[in-house]
């Protein structure tokens, strides 16, 4: 761990603090590792058209871990109207940032969910948490 010398030669202050752990996303990553479940992410590519002019969708499936939270009426965020009672949020590691986009899908416990909203929690200018709000999706692939 890097250290930084202050005005006194007798005291060394550690440069790394719990705030930088939050900023690095390490705390969120640890929560996802410890309490998360395996989910399938379906990244939907831009629609294209076949030779008959019909719209076609292509997609790429990847697997990752997410912590799942269901918002309850007792949560302050529900009381303030940020989330609805019963709304489901999937919390992801920062490494999944490029795959967590509105319109993509999550498969968990034999149910498809469409990502409707992305919420980034920031400390300063650094993202430390990615939360995807979802709705149940009726899909045919």
Whether the pLDDT of residue 29 is over 60: the answer is yes
Cβ-based neighbours of 39, under 8 Å, separated by 6 or more: 63, 64, 65, 66, 90, 106, 107, 108
Q: Is the dihedral of CA 103, 106, 112, 118 positive or negative?
A: negative
pLDDT digits (tens, 9 = 90+) for 69-93: 999 999 999 999 988 999 999 999 8
CA distance 90 to 112: 13
Topology of the domain covering 22-136: Thrombin, subunit H (2.40.10)
E-strand stretches of the chain: 3-5, 12-14, 37-44, 48-49, 55-56, 59-70, 88-92, 105-108, 111-123, 126-136
Which stretch of 24-33, 34-43, 56-65, 127-136 has the lowest confidence by average pLDDT? 24-33
Q: Is the dihedral of CA 69, 26, 43, 119 positive or negative?
A: positive
Domain boundaries, the chain: 22-136
Question: For 138, what's the count of Cα atoms within 13 Å in the CB-facing half-sphere?
Answer: 0
pLDDT band at 30 (very low <50, low <70, confident <90, very high): confident
Whole-model pTM: value is 0.73
Give the per-residue pLDDT at 8.
Answer: 53
């Amino acid at each position: 761990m890097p250290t930084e010398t202050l005005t006194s030669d007798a005291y060394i202050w550690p440069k790394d603090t719990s705030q930088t752990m939050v900023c690095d996303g390490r705390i969120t990553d640890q929560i996802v590792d410890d309490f998360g479940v395996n989910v399938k992410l379906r990244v939907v590519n831009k629609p294209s058209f076949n030779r008959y002019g019909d719209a076609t969708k292509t997609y790429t499936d990847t697997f990752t871990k997410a912590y799942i939270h269901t918002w309850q009426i007792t949560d302050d965020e529900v009381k303030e109207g940020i989330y609805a009672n019963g709304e489901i949020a999937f919390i992801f590691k920062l490494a999944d940032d490029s795959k967590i986009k509105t319109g993509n899908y999550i498969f968990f416990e034999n149910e498809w969910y469409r990502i409707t909203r992305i919420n980034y929690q920031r400390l300063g200018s650094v993202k430390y948490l990615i939360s995807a709000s979802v709705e149940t999706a009726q899909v045919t692939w």
